[in-house]
Amino acid sequence: MQQADLDRAVARATGETVTTIRRLGFLLDDPVAVTCDPQLCDAEVIDWDALETQRYGGSNGRTYRELALS
Protein backbone atom coordinates (compact mmCIF):
# COMPACT_ATOMS: atom_id res chain seq x y z
CA MET A 1 0.00 0.00 0.00
CA GLN A 2 1.31 3.41 -0.94
CA GLN A 3 0.96 6.50 1.29
CA ALA A 4 -1.60 8.01 -1.10
CA ASP A 5 -3.72 4.83 -0.87
CA LEU A 6 -3.63 5.01 2.93
CA ASP A 7 -4.57 8.70 2.92
CA ARG A 8 -7.55 8.05 0.65
CA ALA A 9 -8.71 5.04 2.70
CA VAL A 10 -8.54 6.96 5.99
CA ALA A 11 -10.30 9.95 4.40
CA ARG A 12 -13.11 7.69 3.12
CA ALA A 13 -13.49 6.00 6.51
CA THR A 14 -13.52 9.22 8.52
CA GLY A 15 -15.31 11.58 6.15
CA GLU A 16 -12.37 14.00 6.28
CA THR A 17 -10.59 15.40 3.26
CA VAL A 18 -7.39 13.80 2.00
CA THR A 19 -5.64 17.11 2.73
CA THR A 20 -6.68 16.91 6.38
CA ILE A 21 -5.52 13.31 6.65
CA ARG A 22 -2.14 14.21 5.12
CA ARG A 23 -1.81 17.08 7.60
CA LEU A 24 -2.56 14.73 10.51
CA GLY A 25 0.26 12.47 9.33
CA PHE A 26 -1.11 8.93 9.17
CA LEU A 27 1.71 6.53 8.33
CA LEU A 28 2.04 2.85 7.57
CA ASP A 29 3.76 0.98 10.34
CA ASP A 30 6.94 -0.86 9.46
CA PRO A 31 5.79 -4.50 9.16
CA VAL A 32 9.26 -5.70 10.17
CA ALA A 33 8.94 -3.84 13.50
CA VAL A 34 5.62 -5.50 14.36
CA THR A 35 6.19 -8.61 16.44
CA CYS A 36 2.57 -9.48 17.16
CA ASP A 37 -0.97 -8.48 16.31
CA PRO A 38 -1.86 -5.59 18.69
CA GLN A 39 -5.30 -7.14 19.17
CA LEU A 40 -3.69 -10.34 20.48
CA CYS A 41 -0.68 -9.11 22.47
CA ASP A 42 -0.46 -6.87 25.53
CA ALA A 43 -0.13 -3.64 23.54
CA GLU A 44 -1.91 -0.67 25.04
CA VAL A 45 -4.70 0.62 22.83
CA ILE A 46 -5.79 4.21 23.35
CA ASP A 47 -9.44 5.10 22.86
CA TRP A 48 -8.98 8.75 21.92
CA ASP A 49 -12.70 9.58 22.23
CA ALA A 50 -12.84 8.14 25.76
CA LEU A 51 -9.66 9.99 26.71
CA GLU A 52 -11.07 13.28 25.44
CA THR A 53 -14.33 12.69 27.33
CA GLN A 54 -12.34 11.97 30.48
CA ARG A 55 -10.26 15.12 30.06
CA TYR A 56 -12.97 17.55 28.97
CA GLY A 57 -16.17 16.06 30.31
CA GLY A 58 -17.71 15.17 26.95
CA SER A 59 -19.47 18.50 26.44
CA ASN A 60 -16.87 20.13 24.24
CA GLY A 61 -19.33 20.93 21.44
CA ARG A 62 -17.94 18.34 19.06
CA THR A 63 -20.09 15.80 17.32
CA TYR A 64 -18.80 12.40 16.35
CA ARG A 65 -19.92 10.19 13.50
CA GLU A 66 -20.24 6.45 13.83
CA LEU A 67 -18.17 4.59 11.28
CA ALA A 68 -19.95 1.94 9.26
CA LEU A 69 -17.65 -0.84 8.13
CA SER A 70 -18.76 -3.08 5.35
Residue ranges of domains in the chain: 3-56
Choice between 47 and 31, residue whose per-residue pLDDT is larger: 47
Distance between CA atoms of 58 and 64, rounded to whole angstroms?
11
Q: 26 — phi, psi (to 5°)?
A: -65, 135
3-state secondary structure of 8: helix
Query: What's the confidence (pLDDT) of residue 18?
Result: 93
**Widest pairwise Cα distance in the chain:** 41
Contact criterion met (CB below 8 Å) for 13 and 2: no
Distance between CA atoms of 54 and 70, rounded to whole angstroms?
30
Query: What's the confidence (pLDDT) of residue 67?
Result: 67
Query: What's the confidence (pLDDT) of residue 16?
Result: 92
Using one digit for the tens of pLDDT, what is the confidence trace for 3-40?
A: 888 889 989 998 999 999 888 887 777 656 656 665 66
